[in-house]
Chains A and B, each alone.
Chain A
Amino acid sequence: MATPSKSGFKWHIVVFLAPAVIVYTAVMIYPLFATLRLSFYSEVEQERIWVGLQNFATLFGDAIWSEQFWNALGNNAWFFLIHMLVQNPIGIALAAILSSPKLRFSAFYRSAIFIPTILSFVIVGFAWKLILSPIWGIAPDMLDAIGLKFLYQPWLGKEEYALTTLSLVSVWQFVGIPMMLIYAALLSIPDEILEAGECDGITGLSAFFKIKLPLILPSIGIISVLTFVANFNAFDLIYAAQGALAGPDFSTDILGTFMYRTFFGFQLQLGDPHMGSTIASAMFGIILIGVCIYLFGIQRRLRNYQF
C-alpha cells in the first residue's frame, strides 16, 4: 500500500463525508429549498407561474388568511409556553429526585416516565381522547369517585380548554426527554464540588439551587431550544386528536395543522401547494429566528464549566 503524499488532496475525507452529505441533502436540504422555492410560485390555469412575494402578501395581508395564521401562531405560542412552564420544570424536578442516591427503584421510575416518549402520537392521542371522553372515559368516573365530579368538563370539546388539555397531554408524553438530559447532566457533576459545598454548609435544596442548577444551565438552554423547535413543528398530536380542522372552532389550530390543511386540502377544500409552502416557509422563518435568538443572545452568555 502506497503512502499518500502529504501535499495530495485528501480524498478519504470526501469519501467519508459523502454518505451523510448525500443522504442529508436528499431528505432535508433539497426538500427545504424546494419548499421555499414553491412559495414564490402560484398556479393559474394549470400553469405554474412566478409571483414573487405575492403569496406572502396574501398570507399576511388578506384578512381571511392572516386571521388563521395569527390564530395558529398564537396557539403555537401558548402550546410552547405550557411546555416551558410545565414540562421542563417537572422534568428538572424529576431528574433532581432521580439523581438522589437515597431513592430506591430509581431505574424503574426512570423507565416508566420515559416510556410514553417512545409511544406513537396516534396511540397517545387516541388513548387520551378515550380517557377524557364524556361518554366512555374514566376521567368523569374517577373524579366522581373522589367527589369532584363538578370539576369535569368535556375538555377536548370546549374552546377554552382544548388547547391547554392537548398541551398537557403532550407534556405527559414528552416529560421524559428533559428528565433524561438533565439527569445525565446532574450525574456528570463531580462529587468533589458537592462535598466542598457541604464543608461550607450548603446541603439539600440549597445545594441544588446554588451548585447543581448553575452547572446544568447549558443543558436547560439546549432543552428549551429543542422544545421550541419541536413545538413549532408540532402537528401529529393535534391531528390525531382533533383532526385537520383542529376543532373546536380552530381553538387547537397550530401552524402544522394550518399548513397541512392548506397544502393537502381538506374535504371540499382543494389542496394548494403554493400557499401551503408559503405557510411552511413562514414556519421555517419563525423557527430560524427563535433559534438564532437563542444561539446569539443566550448560549454565548452561558459559561461551560470544564471539570
Chain B
Amino acid sequence: MKTSTTTGALLVTTFLAASAAMAQDAELIIESWRNDDLTIWQNKIIPAFEAEHPGIKVKFTPSAPAEYNAVLNSKLDAGSAGDIITCRPFDASLALYDAGHLADLSDIDGMSNFSSVAKSGWSTDDGSATYCVPMASVIHGFIYNKDAFDELGLSVPETEAEFFAALDAIKADGNYIPMAMGTNDQWEAATMGYNNIGPNYWKGEEGRNALIAGEQKLTDEAWVAPYRQMAKWGDYLGDGYEAQTYPDSQNIFTLGRAAIYPAGSWEISGFNAQADFAMGAFNPPVQNAGDTCYISDHTDIGIGMNAATSNPEAAKTFLNWVASSEFSNIFANELPGFFPLSNAAVELQDPLAQEFISWRAKCESSIRSTYQILSRGTPNLENETWNASVAVIKGAESPEDAGKRLQDGLASWYAPHQ
C-alpha cells in the first residue's frame, strides 16, 4: 500500500511537470512526404533550430510519398493536420491556399531571399501572394556507373547519337544492363524519361510557356520527339522491365548491375550510401553537338504554415529560419541532391551534387512541363503523361498517337487549346 501511494505521488508530480513544460514550449508538428529524410531532420535540422530557439519544440512526422496529398487533405479537412505543411509545388498547394488551409506568408522577412522564379511554384497565378517558403529544387539527368564506363572504354555522351552508341556498346558487352528503369510504377517513365530529356527538344521555358499560352501543341514535333527517343529505350532496359518497380531500379543500379540510371538529383544521398563504385552524372544529351542544353531544374519542395495552427508566431519563426542561409547550408549538404532555392551562397561538398548543380551554369533551366496550370483539369495531364510515356516505351502506342491523345485530353478542358 505504501509503495503504491508513493508511485501515485510520483506520477502526479510527473504529470504536473510535464504539463508545466507543455505550457512553456510551443510544439510544431511538420507534415511531409520525405520519409527518407527522417533521420536528417531529427538529428541535424531540428536540433540546430531548437538550439537557437529554446522555447519551440519541433516534430517531423512524414507519410509515404504516394499517399501524402490524400492524407494531408483529409487531415486538413478534419482539423488534425500539423502546424507546418511541406508544400508540393503548384496546384496541389494552391488549392490548399484557396481553401484557406495555408496561410499567406508574403510578408515574412525571409521571403526576400528568394527570386520570383523560385517563388513561382507557391504563388497565386498573379503572383500577389506567396504561401510557402521555397525549400529545394531537384535537377534531372543521368547518373552512370563510372567503373563500368571505364571498363568498357566509354566516354560521357554529349549528343543523342553518342548516347545511343554508348547504350549499344553496353548492350553488346552484355555484362551490364544498359539502363535501369522499369515501367511498373509508371511515374519514372514520365518524370525521369519524358521530362528529363524533353526540355532539350521544346527549349525549356520557351516551349513550356508557349504550351501554357496555347501557341504550341502536344502534337508539335518538339513535344512528340522526346517520345520518339523513348520508344527506342525499351530495347535497353533489363529483362522484365514491365514489372520492374522504382525500388527495383534503384537496387539494380546500386548493386552495380546497370550502367546508366535516368535520375533525379534526389537519388544522390541514397546512392552514395548504397553504391560501392564510383558514380558520375551527365545532363540529357542534346540532338546535335553544340546545341544549347536545357535541364529540368524543378521547384519541388516548399514549406508553409497551416492557417489553423495554434502557434502561428512559433511557426513563422521556424519558417523564417528555413528561409535563412543557415538552413540552406545544413539542408544542401545533409541532403545532397536537393538544391536550395534561396539566393544565399551555399557551398556543396558532395562531388555528384556539384556535378548536377554545375549544369545550372552551362544549360538553361526549366521546370517540368505538366506541373504549372496544365494539370488542373480532367483528364489530368500529368497522370496521362505517365501512362503515355509507359505505353511508348513498351511500344504499345506510337509517339504520334501518344501526342495526339494527350493533346485531345488537354484541349477538352483547357481554353487556350480549344
Q: Are A134 and B240 in contact (CB under 8 A)?
A: yes
Q: B81 to chain A: closest CB distance in Å? A: 15
A142-185 contact mask (Cβ, 8 Å, vs B): 1 or 0: 00000000000111111100000000000000000000000000
Which B residues lie within 8 Å of A133 (CB)?
A: 240, 243-244, 248
**B-side interface mostly:** helix
Are A270 and B70 CB-contacts (below 8 A) given A134-B244, A245-B186, A248-B390?
no
For residue A70, CB closer than 8 A to chain B, the reply is: no
Q: B188 to chain A: closest CB distance in Å? A: 12
> Which of the segments A205-213, A221-229, A260-268 contacts the partner chain?
A260-268
Question: What CA separation (Å) do A269 and B380 show in the bound complex?
Answer: 6
Q: A126 to chain B: closest CB distance in Å? A: 11
For residue A118, CB closer than 8 A to chain B, the reply is: no
For residue B386, CB closer than 8 A to chain A, the reply is: yes
Q: B383 to chain A: closest CB distance in Å? A: 6
Determine the residue in chain A with the shortest Cβ distance to B66: A243
Question: What CA separation (Å) do A65 and B377 show in the bound complex?
Answer: 12
> Which of the segments B52-60, B91-99, B112-120, B323-331 contacts the partner chain?
B91-99
Contact of B73 among A129, A243, A244, A271 (CB under 8 A): A271
Contact of A267 among B239, B240, B383 (CB under 8 A): B383
For residue A41, CB closer than 8 A to chain B, the reply is: no
For residue B184, CB closer than 8 A to chain A, the reply is: yes
For residue A250, CB closer than 8 A to chain B, the reply is: yes
Q: Are A248 and B184 in contact (CB under 8 A)?
A: yes
For residue A247, CB closer than 8 A to chain B, the reply is: yes
Q: Are A154 and B70 in contact (CB under 8 A)?
A: no
For residue B252, CB closer than 8 A to chain A, the reply is: yes
Q: Are B240 and A135 in contact (CB under 8 A)?
A: yes
For residue B69, CB closer than 8 A to chain A, the reply is: yes
A124-136 contact mask (Cβ, 8 Å, vs B): 1 or 0: 0000010011111
Which A residues lie within 8 Å of B391 (CB)?
A: 249
Q: B261 to chain A: closest CB distance in Å? A: 14
Question: What CA separation (Å) do A136 and B239 show in the bound complex?
Answer: 12
Q: Are B382 and A267 in contact (CB under 8 A)?
A: yes
For residue A2, CB closer than 8 A to chain B, the reply is: no
Q: Are B243 and A154 in contact (CB under 8 A)?
A: yes
Q: Are A245 and B383 in contact (CB under 8 A)?
A: yes
For residue B370, CB closer than 8 A to chain A, the reply is: yes
Q: Are B243 and A267 in contact (CB under 8 A)?
A: no
Which A residues lie within 8 Å of B182 (CB)?
A: 157
For residue A46, CB closer than 8 A to chain B, the reply is: yes
Which A residues lie within 8 Å of B160 (CB)?
A: none
Q: A151 to chain B: closest CB distance in Å? A: 13
* B residues 270-310 in Cβ contact with A at 8 Å: none
For residue A44, CB closer than 8 A to chain B, the reply is: no
Q: Are B387 and A271 in contact (CB under 8 A)?
A: no
Q: Are A269 and B375 in contact (CB under 8 A)?
A: yes
Determine the residue in chain B with the shortest Cβ distance to A129: B245
Determine the residue in chain A with the shortest Cβ distance to B381: A268
* A residues 63-108 in Cβ contact with B at 8 Å: 64-65
Q: Are B243 and A156 in contact (CB under 8 A)?
A: yes
Q: Are B242 and A64 in contact (CB under 8 A)?
A: no
Q: Are B382 and A159 in contact (CB under 8 A)?
A: no
Q: Are B69 and A158 in contact (CB under 8 A)?
A: no
Question: What CA separation (Å) do A153 and B239 show in the bound complex?
Answer: 10
Q: Are B383 and A265 in contact (CB under 8 A)?
A: no
For residue B412, CB closer than 8 A to chain A, the reply is: yes
Which B residues lie within 8 Å of A271 (CB)?
A: 69-70, 73
Question: What CA separation (Å) do A155 and B184 show in the bound complex?
Answer: 11
Question: What CA separation (Å) do A46 and B100 show in the bound complex?
Answer: 10
Question: What CA separation (Å) do A266 and B65 show in the bound complex?
Answer: 11
Contact of A247 among B92, B186, B371 (CB under 8 A): B186
* B residues 57-76 in Cβ contact with A at 8 Å: 66, 69-70, 73-74
Contact of B387 among A134, A157, A249 (CB under 8 A): A249
Question: What CA separation (Å) do A155 and B240 show in the bound complex?
Answer: 9
Q: A59 to chain B: closest CB distance in Å? A: 11
Which B residues lie within 8 Å of A248 (CB)?
A: 183-184, 186, 242, 390, 394
Q: Are B239 and A270 in contact (CB under 8 A)?
A: no
Q: Are B370 and A249 in contact (CB under 8 A)?
A: no
Which A residues lie within 8 Å of B371 (CB)?
A: 268
Which B residues lie within 8 Å of A266 (CB)?
A: 66, 69-70, 383
Q: B79 to chain A: closest CB distance in Å? A: 16
Determine the residue in chain B with the shortest Cβ distance to A136: B248
Question: What CA separation (Å) do A157 and B73 show in the bound complex?
Answer: 31
Which A residues lie within 8 Å of B92 (CB)?
A: 265, 268, 270
A contacts, CB < 8 Å to B: 46, 64-65, 129, 132-136, 140, 153-159, 242-245, 247-250, 264-271
Instruction: Give me the 3 closest cross-chain CB pairs, A-B, nearest first.
Output: A134-B240, A157-B242, A157-B243
B contacts, CB < 8 Å to A: 66, 69-70, 73-74, 90-92, 95, 98-99, 182-187, 238-245, 248, 251-252, 370-371, 375, 378-383, 386-387, 390-391, 394, 396, 409, 412
20 contacts between A and B (CB under 8 A): A46-B98, A134-B239, A134-B244, A135-B252, A157-B182, A157-B184, A157-B242, A158-B242, A159-B396, A243-B185, A245-B186, A247-B184, A248-B183, A248-B186, A264-B69, A264-B73, A265-B69, A267-B66, A270-B95, A271-B69
Contacts beyond the supplied A249-B387, A270-B92: 4 A-B pairs with Cβ under 8 Å: A135-B244, A140-B240, A156-B243, A245-B387
